[in-house]
A and B are shown apart, each in its own frame.
Chain A
Amino acid sequence: EIVLTQSPATLSLSPGERATLSCRASQSVSSYLAWYQQKPGQAPRLLIYDASNRATGIPARFSGSGSGTDFTLTISSLEPEDFAVYYCQQRSNWPQFTFGPGTKVDIK
Chain B
Amino acid sequence: QVQLVESGGGLVKPGGSLRLSCAASGFTFSDYYMSWIRQAPGKGLEWVSYISSSGSTIYYADSVKGRFTISRDNAKNSLYLQMNSLRAEDTAVYYCASGIADNWFDPWGQGTLVTVSS
Given contacts A43-B95, A95-B59, contact A49 B101 (CB under 8 A): yes
Chain A residues 66-108 with CB under 8 Å of chain B are 87, 89, 91, 95-102
Residues of chain B at interface, number, CB under 8 A: 20
Give the A-B contact count at a CB cut-off of 8 A.
59
Question: Which residues of the partner chain A approach B108 to less than 8 Å between Cβ atoms?
Answer: 43-45
Contact B45 A49 (CB under 8 A): no
Chain A contact patch, size range = 20 to 34
Question: Which residues of the partner chain A approach B102 to less than 8 Å between Cβ atoms?
Answer: 49-50, 53
Chain B residues 45-77 with CB under 8 Å of chain A are 45-47, 50, 59, 61
Interface residues of B (CB under 8 A from A): 35, 44-47, 50, 59, 61, 95, 101-111
Interface residues of A (CB under 8 A from B): 34, 36, 42-46, 49-50, 53, 55-56, 87, 89, 91, 95-102
